[in-house]
Structure 1
Amino acid sequence: MKLLYHNKPLFYFIFIMVLASGKINAQDNKQHPLVGVWLFEETQSFSQMNEKVNAYLSANPELKTQVLSAYIGKKIIFSANGDYAQVLSDGRETYGKWQAQANGQLLININGTLYEHLCNVAGNKLLISSVKNEGDSENMVPNQYYIKI
């Protein structure tokens, strides 16, 4: 630290580079195809539900109604500044931060919990697939399809 303190031009150079890298990342997000508002597409998404989950929900119609109503009408919002929001049809909202990787990996951090997904954007269509790690519970809708609105 003494080296940087005594070498002010080096310190300012490093400081400016750190600031510039933050601006570059923000500019990249503005151009990222995920930026925008996406509406859950239930037909395709529910058609790929896990058979065990589907059978369990069919045997419990009240629970099935609750689950389906939470998904139908759901919106997710990816902001250029890295903010993430999920708004369910019943008005419940979840906020966090998002980051897309070059390999199609999508990381969403909600209250310190990191969720890992794979995503694919094709025009105004988005597929978000859950990545199941050892010990994770079964995801009810592992492949979620969205349409940009």
Structure 2
Amino acid sequence: MKKFKKTYPIICIYSVLFFLTLHPIQSQINDSDRIVGSWFFDSESSFAEVDREVNDFMEANPQLRVKMQSAYTGKTITFLANGAYGQVLGDGTRASGEWYIREDALFIKSQNDVVYTFQFKIQDNKLVLTTVSQNRESKSVVPNQYFTKI
């Protein structure tokens, strides 16, 4: 019994240290693993956050609004474990490329070698992609894109 009383605290300390060192490794693996799969665009949530200036412009140009909404509504994106990326817009337009995660950012490289940068958050079966603007002159029409895993 005395031996158990002496070794029990040591076992507890080693167990805590083991789990603390495992946590950062586990969180890095989770982001890449959890993003793999297909995601369906949530148009209601995404369009609700469109900038007022963009919304006013779309109101003044209804044909452009319809074209934009038809492209985004029904959009699916797919991240494969091997780094391949695919996208099908609501109007059937397809695109492919590569994806990778580095320093808490998601990078998508198109077939034309254009790299798009996103901040991302995954919670349960929900994904939010926030466009990182490369310069101050350009603005994303839908800055926060909400997706549900399918």
Deviation for aligned residue 1:133: 2.2
Letter in 1 for 2:106: L
Aligned residue number for residue 43 of structure 1: 44
Higher deviation after alignment, 73-82 or 111-120 = 111-120
CA distance in 2, matches of 1:48, 1:92: 24
Q: What code does the residue aligned with 1:134 have?
A: N
Matched, 1:140 2:134: no
Match of 1:90, SS state, is: coil
What stretches of structure 1 move > 6 A for 4+ residues in a row?
A: none
Work out the percentage of aligned pairs sharing the same amino acid. Answer: 39
Structure 1 vs Structure 2 CA RMSD: 1.7
Q: CA deviation at 1:98?
A: 0.1
Q: Which runs of 5+ in 2 are unaligned?
A: 1-28
Residue in structure 2 matched with residue 108 of structure 1 by the alignment: 108
Considering only CA atoms, is the larger Rg found in Structure 1 or Structure 2? 2
Matches within 5 A, 1:1-149: 32-101=33-102, 103-110=103-110, 111-149=112-150
CA–CA separation in structure 2 for the residues paired with 1:91 and 1:70: 8
Paired residues, number: 121
Alpha-carbon distance, 1:68 to partner: 0.5
The CA distance in 1 between the partners of 2:137 and 2:143, in whole Å, is: 12
* TM-score, normalising length: structure 2: 0.76
- Which whole-Å CA distance do the structure 2 matches of 1:92 and 1:112 have between them? 18
- 1:104 touches 1:120 (CA, 8 Å); kept in 2? no
CA distance in 1, matches of 2:137, 2:57: 18
Once the two structures are superposed, residues 71-124 of structure 1 have per-residue CA deviations (whole angstroms, 9 ceiling, x without a partner) of 0000000001100011011111010000012x4200010021111110111010
* 8 Å CA contact retained: 1:117, 1:131: yes
1:133 alignment partner, SS class: coil
TM-aligned CA deviation for residue 135 of structure 1: 4.6
Corresponding residue of 1:8: none
Q: TM-score, normalised by structure 1?
A: 0.76
